[in-house]
Structure 1
Amino acid sequence: MTQYGFDTLQIHAGARPDPATGARQTPIYQTTAYVFRDADHAAALFNLQEVGFIYSRLTNPTVAVLQERIATLEGGQGAVCCSSGHAAQIMALFPLMAPGRNIVASTRLYGGTVTQFSNTIKRFGWSATFVDTDDLDAVKAAIDDDTRAIFCESIANPGGYISDLPALAKIADEAGIPLIVDNTSATPYLCRPIEHGATLVVHSTTKYLTGNGTVTGGCIVDSGKFDWSASGKFPSLSEPESAYHGLKFHETFGPLAYTFHGIAIGLRDLGMTMNPQAAHYTLMGIETLSLRMERHVANAVKVAQWLEGHDAVEAVTYAGLDSSPYKSRMGTICPKGAGALFTVALKGGYDACVRLVDSLELFSHVANLGDTRSLVIHSASTTHRQLTEEQQVKAGAAPDVVRLSIGIEDADDLIADLSQALDKAG
């Protein structure tokens, strides 16, 4: 369906009328297992000789529609959905890594991701080197013989900074490693990282893709363009897999090798499965993605411009502002807008931030983003609390800033709410 426009694909990609009932909306296939035609059919499925449904930890018809839809919108070859954005990050790294291997990661990442890469992955024998990805020389210098990927966000959470994806992709290509881009804050409507050289794209589908704050989920999209057999660095994909009688994923499945590995090995053994009801909610959310993102962006521009002129505000990090050093990247990386996530630094510092959060009425104080509702959080005391102050500053979550996720309400109402709260914040 790739010949159709985005607005059409977000509704139709991956979905067909249910063959059993004619149901037009994708049904929720709330089932654990699937009946095999006969013993030969079962054996073929388990041996990866035939594609089909075995057990819902691995594959489910509702989830399969969502995987195809997200892959199509991102311009990828295939996708694997899982239980959360954090699960997607581990799933993305799992086929690439081994004890002693490392990744080069941006310092401008969501605080939970920084913690996952700083601490949790060490339990697998993996490690991460954090660098400012705007410093391309530092990125190159951080890569060594054990590096297996570069990881960044297209629009960074919380600061809204736009990454130079073509430059990072070039460095990754020269090193023979994939570039992994978290596209949660941008969505494929605003940015398609694969078109800028990314190998893999990850999402927290919890956020803008679902858009209504109802379910958690994650997704990994493979471009299908990386040669996993070229260097010997990725034996999980290029070498015989003992669990499947010596099958070589890249040799057997070609551009779908990574996707098949994610299902046949990743979901099979890690079990980070997305449930079909979550997939259903996300499918419904994606149907209005372009409409919502247009309003998100329009509101964010209006609110950010107003905040930039307020006496109590020290700075606004929104990349859509003319004052932003990242505005120049919009034309190539995010031509339809810089998203709706950014931070606001207050002259009153930490205390003023806390008073602002407590005084807002329309903005919901929650640890989430990408909802239709406008959201606020003081990152340094919540989502980035586990980081040192130096890490908080590097991540764009200093103690004197609040993060805003601008929703699709009336922008004038949002400005009025911010105005009264800033007056109370002092």
Structure 2
Amino acid sequence: MSDRLPGFSTLAVHAGAQPDPTTGARATPIYQTTSFVFNDADHAASLFGLQAFGNIYTRIGNPTNAVLEERVAALEGGTAALAVASGHAAQVVVLQQLLQPGDEFIAARKLYGGSINQFTHAFKSFGWNVVWADPDDIASFERAVTPRTKAIFIESIANPAGSITDIEAISTVARKAGVPLIVDNTLASPYLIRPIDHGADIVVHSLTKFLGGHGNSLGGIIVDAGTFDWSTGGKYPMLSEPRPEYHGIRLQETFGNFAFAIACRVLGLRDLGPALSPFNAFMILTGIETLPLRMQKHCDNAKAVAEFLAAHPAVASVSYAGLPSDKYNQLARKYAPRGAGAVFTFSLKGGYDAGVSLVSKLQLFSHLANVGDTRSLVIHPASTTHSQLDDAAKVKSGAGPDVVRLSIGIEDKEDLIADLEQALGA
């Protein structure tokens, strides 16, 4: 293997992991400990001063988590990664490094409802201001740029509608503005799309979804592409200015192309504290081993279900980029040739009441607020995940009153179609 780069499936199984040097255990052990013994006083001082890498306290880092971080960084093509407690925690930690009170970031209007709520309301208490742009109108991102803009945030495949975002076009806007592009790659996973290959500077995930894949563990991760110059124009003092808590170290100068991941760890995770449990890291690592197999099955099933729904008389429309008739099909062919993902929406002719009724009649689909499980899931976003939005905002985010969201699992597609058929018929 020394003369070739490992393929994606090989990395999904092996990246970051070695047999345990003490016991020979082949699976990565769960290092279920709060803290780690230092060799001596000098060793402890060098760890706390960022002069050496090693383990101090599980809130800051843990060997099980480190394997997960290295594996996802390898799959995404990044320089380093940091695992945290959830996808929401990843977003907080990322933006804490970039924004000062009064600063702005631009976000695509088509996002997960929880992110819209977090950006609109929770971040106000930090003095961070979101400016919304339309991912179908690239010029709207250009118009939104001001001297206070510090980042652009998009989803590679938008939740809930499954629409594909033109990453390269928005990356061009970010480059021109001199700000990093942050891409939430949760719905695609690196198996379908690697945003760094298309100009992303930072990638975030809810590990809870497709990477973990089994609906049993919460987690989030931040991947540093190592592509952004944090010293530009003095916009990012957390990375470019001397850090008083570390004796004047300038993180970019000291850590180079993985400085952002270090900043997230030693300035974000250390002080905000959203640490990932080593047990959850172990569970998510186990899930990632089968990511290529699962994602392909997810996508194949999703396309079959979307085709069925598109032909059903009770269905008004289907929003799935894998369908040739879909407005995002060309972007799907460009960015996600292996498949357009497993999460999509469809609208019912009966409107809001029909959507609420449908989810109660399905038997194989589980009605719950999650995606990316091996099991197929259903939800009516307007009454649940996007209920905090007004009607106009629901429609703009792809979660209108007549919309139902599906997350297609890895069951037999014939059984999924039969369940939808009986529920629509009822």
Q: What's the TM-score once normalised by structure 2's chain length?
A: 0.99
How far residue 332 of structure 1 moved from its aligned partner, in angstroms, is 2.0
Aligned partner (choices 224, 227, 231) of residue 225 of structure 1 = 227
Cα-to-partner distance string for 1:146-204 (whole Å, 9 max, x where unaligned) = 01111010000000000000000000001000000000000000000000000000000
Partner of 1:123: 125
Please show how residues 298-377 of structure 1 align to structure 2 within 5 Å: 298-377=300-379
Q: Root-mean-square deviation (CA), in Å?
A: 0.8
- Residue 389 (str. 1) matches residue 378 (str. 2): no
Partner of 1:61: 63
Partners of 1:71 and 1:295 in 2: CA distance: 23
Aligned partner (choices 190, 209, 212) of residue 211 of structure 2 = 209
Aligned partner (choices 24, 41, 44) of residue 42 of structure 1 = 44
Runs of 4+ displaced beyond 4 Å:
none
How far residue 133 of structure 1 moved from its aligned partner, in angstroms, is 1.7
Secondary structure, counterpart of 1:91 in structure 2: helix
The percentage of counterpart residues that share the same residue type is 58
* Structure 2, unaligned runs of 5 or more: none
Count of aligned pairs: 424
Partners of 1:398 and 1:137 in 2: CA distance: 25
Secondary structure, counterpart of 1:94 in structure 2: helix
Partners of 1:194 and 1:336 in 2: CA distance: 17
Partner of 2:403: 401
What is the identity, as a one-letter code, of the residue corresponding to 2:23?
Answer: T
What is the identity, as a one-letter code, of the residue corresponding to 1:384?
Answer: H
How far residue 137 of structure 1 moved from its aligned partner, in angstroms, is 1.2
Please show how residues 7-406 of structure 1 align to structure 2 within 5 Å: 7-406=9-408
Partner of 2:425: 423
Partners of 2:333 and 2:244 in 1: CA distance: 47
Cα-to-partner distance string for 1:212-257 (whole Å, 9 max, x where unaligned) = 0001000000100100002211010001111111100000100011
Partners of 1:413 and 1:123 in 2: CA distance: 47
Cα-to-partner distance string for 1:311-346 (whole Å, 9 max, x where unaligned) = 000000000001101000122211211001000100
Partners of 1:127 and 1:37 in 2: CA distance: 45
Secondary structure, counterpart of 2:234 in structure 1: coil
What is the identity, as a one-letter code, of the residue corresponding to 2:48?
Answer: F
What is the identity, as a one-letter code, of the residue corresponding to 2:199?
Answer: G
Secondary structure, counterpart of 2:270 in structure 1: helix
Secondary structure, counterpart of 1:129 in structure 2: strand
Partners of 1:404 and 1:114 in 2: CA distance: 20
Partners of 1:261 and 1:179 in 2: CA distance: 17
Partners of 1:200 and 1:333 in 2: CA distance: 17
Cα-to-partner distance string for 1:258-313 (whole Å, 9 max, x where unaligned) = 11111111111000100100000000000000000010000000000010000000
How far residue 205 of structure 1 moved from its aligned partner, in angstroms, is 0.2
Partners of 1:106 and 1:403 in 2: CA distance: 19
